[in-house]
Structure 1
Amino acid sequence: MENNAAENLLAAFAHFFPNAKTIGSFVDGDLVEGTGELIQLYDAATGKPSLAYKDGGAAVVELAADAAQRAQKQWWALTHAARGRVMFEIARELRKDTESIARLESLGSGKPIRDCRGEVAKVAEMFEYYGGWADKFYGDVIPVPTSHLNYTRREPAGTVLQITPWNAPVFTCGWQVAPAISMGNAVLLKPSELTPFTSLVVGLLAEKAGAPKGLINVLAGLGQTVAQAAIAHKVVKKVVFVGSPATGVRIAEAAAKRVLPCVLELGGKSANIIFADADLKRAALTAQAAIFAGAGQSCVAGSRLLVQRSIYDEFVGMIATGAKKIRVGAPLDDATEVGPINNRTQYDHIMKMIASGVQAGATLAAGSAERSSGGYFVSPAVLSNVTNEMDVARTEIFGPVVAAIPFDTEEEALNIANDTEFGLAGAVWTNDVGRAHRVAGQVNAGTFWVNGYKTINVASPFGGYGLSGYGRSSGVEALYEYTQTKSVWVETASEPATTFGYL
């Protein structure tokens, strides 16, 4: 071990898995060590090697698929209300150990500890929300023009594969798992190989709360081995993916070979539109949170800042001044507001994008193009004098970098906002009620805020347009994603008419 990072991470993990000497997959109630190639992790705060563990490989998928199939039958056999009670108990288990889960999340992902505490609380809320839906989501009786009673049943898909990213491991785990099991499904969860830790804990706590062994199996390993084997497995009936568009395309192609439905939550290049009549102080504070919180590692980040030209210099100056005051530091420091970038590959991409923006003619009003001497730290960066044709305005940077673009009219703002392949989110700031609704109705995005940004709740549907994916991952709409409809016809006539056949 090069430093204490591995020891600290393993100690935090051992709080939940006391006998663990390394990381493995959580399958059928046990931690199963992988048999594949060694996956080396790095401490985001120092850039030095941390833990290493073995890829689960295809063999672990076979074990997990068998366990999931058995557990799903047990789970679906329970009453809907009984499943809901177990889900509320999962939430209680999460709340009881919030600090330990948050510490593990911070150590494993590089996220500030204060952000992690909030995300664990949100995951508990997800299980409560969908636990409440377990006995309230039902079919319909359809008034067909015959003598039949026709009704629909909402039935589970069976076993679903969920592939989650490294930027918000525990949050996306709960975001996907809770609605899936609420509707009676079992789960094969494949977190990013860079951040499997808290997802493993959610699987453990779910069983502690009363879920059947094997209902939630967490597969620790690489996409090209574990995820590929899982997509190809006959037990898997649906695939849910959160991540980059490029990877999403490959997953959709693999799923299509088995005619598997998918939910894809992909990237974004969201426009945060500021009109001159807005409350500029509040808009400036919120615009900073929209892009710099979480070190900008968010699919809905307000990465394109569209500002009306009459206030452009003033407003961009406010953002740049604020950016320089944001506290960048170690993940476990309670004072840290922006931690390091999760991994070296992403860090290199962000620094390359900043440099390319300056080279293309943008001005670096805040931040630095210089690389950090230790760890993957990026100071909040503001690029001004950006045009929407520049790469920094078209490519997802996924870091604390905002591209500020001027506009003159409402029509121009809408044209710029929609001149992108993405369509995940957006916002408008104005005191003109009519304009607010016009813009909200015309920007192509799955989530849109008026005089706000990044308010997300499990009760509200979330998903994208265009290259940002399809399907919805929260709200009641997620329950449709995790069920299939069966139409049942019951003849009620005492002497039903027959139109064909002989005796």
Structure 2
Amino acid sequence: MTQLPHFQLYIDGAFTEGHAGQVMASQNPATGADWATFACAAPQDVARAVAAARRVLDDPAWRDMTQTQRGKLLYRLGDLIAEHAAELGQLETTDSGKLLAETASQTGYVGDYYRYYAGLADKIEGAVLPIDKPDMHVFTRREPIGVVVAVVPWNAQMFLTATKLGPALAAGCSVVLKASEIAPAPMLAFARLIEQAGFPPGVVSIITGDAENCAIPLTRHADVDRIAFTGGPDTARHVVRNSAENFAVTTLELGGKSPILVFEDADLDSAANGLIAGNFGASGQSCVAGSRGLIHRPVIEALIARISQNCADIIVGDPLDPATHLGPLCTRAQVDLIVATLAKAKAQGAKIRFGGEPLERAGNYMAPTLVHCENHDVETLHVELFGPVMSLVPFDTEEEAIALANSTVFGLGSGVFTQNLARAHRVSARLKAGICWVNTYRAISPIAPFGGTNHSGYGREAGMDAINDYTRTKTTWINTSDQPMTNPFVMR
């Protein structure tokens, strides 16, 4: 019997099995068969990883490294990621089912995130304050916030890791990265690049495991100073409760049900492509999926016709095949949720205009699906399905479109398609979302902040300001007077 590839935890600069010896199997979503195994962390492993992260903050090898030197390590890491993008992409595709065309290219681009923060590492500055006391010299400096726990899901793990690890390391923090127990192989393999880049042992540890033995003891650990979490709202509530034990600064990126508004003056071919990118890109397994298409009534049928034709041309198949447009979903549970939700939507009067059924083949395949909803109360417009399901609902006025777009508990992404520049500014300003794309969709950059509002979380990742979120400000007062202090009972 052929032995499956096995992936170990990476703790304090060494690859290791979990303390309890627990091993889980990972399924290939394209075949439904086990393809690899990986070690799972026990509470003792969590304690070791956090202890190493705490120790290294006082280790001269990391503590006394100049910011410029840290930037060089990050730059080297970015180069290594680019060099190994094809290998990491192959692992991610096999483990999660995402298209190789996307995983390899996205991983290669992720190198730019590390290079971006490499360049910012020695731009972390304090200030001399124009204090109102002439005998005082007062200045601030930004210091590393400390031990960071970064929790990333399986669906865009190299990207979501970069938005956390890049600024944290540039700021001088140490990081314990918790990879999803669903499809963690690329993250555990990524650990070798951390080692090759030259980061001292303990600066980054990468672990995975279940909630009880790994995630809960990690996010409530007393020595954790900051938690950067990406995932679902239900899990996030547990993370926030756990952070009450350590008062860790916490940021959350939680996905949502992003609206894409298409007005009658839009380029309909461009709008169709934007809706397809927002719903079928990554097989719909994206936190910014534009799964609520709000369409100006005069053009909805024309747009449905274009999208239906495009759906007919979509090639569903092996995600390793360059010709494939749509691969499998990561888990069977996602397929089951979609089937159940579509049944409810049809009972509510929605019409399936394309697809609507799982494909009869090995693996977790769902046909690209287009749902026409005559009102905004349909189930598919409110449940985050994480699959290739596009729901379109008509609107009659700009005000109605904005009201429908904002009638959600989420607020991560949004899109607007219009050729009217005034309308583009007017509508984008009123959408309650952290991101708005106009006449495009699902674009990212290390320069652009990423994050949401309401149940889509709080805090921002990427961009220049993100690096400050991994620091604390220290204020230093220096008395420049030769005179002794007077009256110790009165505050100056």
Which category of TM-score, normalised to the shorter sequence, fits these structures? over 0.9
Q: Which shows bigger deviation, 249-258 or 27-36? A: 27-36
Q: How far is 1:233 from its partner?
A: 1.9
Residues 496, 303 of structure 1: CA spacing in aligned structure 2 closer, same or farther, 3 A cutoff?
Answer: farther
Task: Give secondary structure in 1 for the equivalent of 2:26.
Answer: strand
Verify the 8 A CA contact 1:29 1:204 in the aligned structure 2. no
1:45 aligns with 2:30: yes
Q: Which shows bigger deviation, 93-102 or 270-279? A: 93-102
- Alignment-derived partner of residue 124 in structure 1: 111
- Alignment-derived partner of residue 139 in structure 1: 126
For 2:38 and 2:85, the matched residues in 1 are separated by 25
**What code does the residue aligned with 2:36 have?**
L
Verify the 8 A CA contact 1:320 1:366 in the aligned structure 2. yes
Q: Which shows bigger deviation, 189-198 or 353-362? A: 353-362
For 1:176 and 1:339, the matched residues in 2 are separated by 27
- Alignment-derived partner of residue 189 in structure 2: 201
CA displacement, residues 68-126 of structure 1 (integer Å, 9 cap, x when unaligned)? 22333332310000000111111111122222111111111111111111111122111
**What code does the residue aligned with 1:391 have?**
E
- Alignment-derived partner of residue 191 in structure 1: 179
- Alignment-derived partner of residue 71 in structure 1: 56
Aligned-residue sequence identity (percent) comes to 35
For 1:183 and 1:370, the matched residues in 2 are separated by 46
**What code does the residue aligned with 2:449 have?**
P
Verify the 8 A CA contact 1:105 1:170 in the aligned structure 2. no
Verify the 8 A CA contact 1:354 1:369 in the aligned structure 2. no
CA displacement, residues 369-405 of structure 1 (integer Å, 9 cap, x when unaligned)? 2453321011111101242212211111111111101
For 1:351 and 1:126, the matched residues in 2 are separated by 37
Task: Give secondary structure in 1 for the equivalent of 2:123.
Answer: coil
1:253 aligns with 2:225: no
**What code does the residue aligned with 1:40 have?**
A
Q: How far is 1:205 from its partner?
A: 0.7
Verify the 8 A CA contact 2:77 2:114 in the aligned structure 1. yes
Verify the 8 A CA contact 1:88 1:128 in the aligned structure 2. yes
- Alignment-derived partner of residue 16 in structure 2: 32
For 1:151 and 1:327, the matched residues in 2 are separated by 60
- Alignment-derived partner of residue 41 in structure 2: 56
Task: Give secondary structure in 2 for the equivalent of 1:425.
Answer: coil
Which of 88, 97, 102 is residue 101 of structure 1 equivalent to? 88
1:309 aligns with 2:293: no
Q: How far is 1:329 from its partner?
A: 1.0
- Alignment-derived partner of residue 215 in structure 2: 227
**What code does the residue aligned with 1:438 have?**
R
1:172 aligns with 2:160: yes
Q: How far is 1:419 from its partner?
A: 0.2
- Alignment-derived partner of residue 215 in structure 1: 203
Residues 78, 386 of structure 1: CA spacing in aligned structure 2 closer, same or farther, 3 A cutoff?
Answer: farther
For 1:345 and 1:182, the matched residues in 2 are separated by 38
Q: Which shows bigger deviation, 58-67 or 307-316? A: 58-67
For 2:414 and 2:306, the matched residues in 1 are separated by 20
Verify the 8 A CA contact 2:251 2:457 in the aligned structure 1. yes
Verify the 8 A CA contact 1:372 1:378 in the aligned structure 2. no
Q: How far is 1:497 from its partner?
A: 6.2
Q: How far is 1:468 from its partner?
A: 0.1
CA displacement, residues 7-61 of structure 1 (integer Å, 9 cap, x when unaligned)? 4xx2xxxxxxxxxxx2221112221112254423222011223333442111111
**What code does the residue aligned with 1:56 have?**
A
For 1:108 and 1:204, the matched residues in 2 are separated by 18
Q: How far is 1:155 from its partner?
A: 0.9
Q: Which shows bigger deviation, 92-101 or 406-415? A: 92-101
Task: Give secondary structure in 2 for the equivalent of 1:88.
Answer: helix
Task: Give secondary structure in 2 for the equivalent of 1:312.
Answer: helix
CA displacement, residues 113-151 of structure 1 (integer Å, 9 cap, x when unaligned)? 111111111221111000000001211222111122221
Verify the 8 A CA contact 1:324 1:367 in the aligned structure 2. no
Residues 227, 36 of structure 1: CA spacing in aligned structure 2 closer, same or farther, 3 A cutoff?
Answer: farther
Q: How far is 1:466 from its partner?
A: 0.3
For 1:201 and 1:174, the matched residues in 2 are separated by 15
For 1:274 and 1:344, the matched residues in 2 are separated by 32
**What code does the residue aligned with 1:28 have?**
D
Task: Give secondary structure in 2 for the equivalent of 1:369.
Answer: coil
For 1:489 and 1:266, the matched residues in 2 are separated by 41
- Alignment-derived partner of residue 398 in structure 2: 410
The 5 A counterparts of 1:68-467 are 68-73=53-58, 74-147=61-134, 148-370=136-358, 372-467=360-455
**What code does the residue aligned with 2:15 have?**
L
Residues 50, 162 of structure 1: CA spacing in aligned structure 2 closer, same or farther, 3 A cutoff?
Answer: same
Residues 177, 372 of structure 1: CA spacing in aligned structure 2 closer, same or farther, 3 A cutoff?
Answer: farther
For 1:234 and 1:195, the matched residues in 2 are separated by 28
Task: Give secondary structure in 1 for the equivalent of 2:279.
Answer: helix
Residues 75, 361 of structure 1: CA spacing in aligned structure 2 closer, same or farther, 3 A cutoff?
Answer: same
Q: How far is 1:440 from its partner?
A: 0.8
Task: Give secondary structure in 2 for the equivalent of 1:490.
Answer: strand
For 1:324 and 1:498, the matched residues in 2 are separated by 83
Q: How far is 1:218 from its partner?
A: 0.4
| Structure 2 segments unaligned to the other structure (5+ residues) | none
Verify the 8 A CA contact 1:327 1:336 in the aligned structure 2. yes
Residues 261, 386 of structure 1: CA spacing in aligned structure 2 closer, same or farther, 3 A cutoff?
Answer: farther
| Structure 1 segments unaligned to the other structure (5+ residues) | 11-21
For 1:31 and 1:218, the matched residues in 2 are separated by 9
Deviating beyond 4 angstroms after TM superposition, the runs of 4 or more aligned structure 1 residues are none
For 1:26 and 1:189, the matched residues in 2 are separated by 10
TM-score, normalised via structure 1 length: 0.93
Task: Give secondary structure in 1 for the equivalent of 2:110.
Answer: helix
Verify the 8 A CA contact 1:297 1:398 in the aligned structure 2. yes
Verify the 8 A CA contact 1:76 1:185 in the aligned structure 2. no
For 1:143 and 1:309, the matched residues in 2 are separated by 58
For 2:324 and 2:201, the matched residues in 1 are separated by 38
Q: How far is 1:324 from its partner?
A: 2.1
For 2:359 and 2:365, the matched residues in 1 are separated by 8
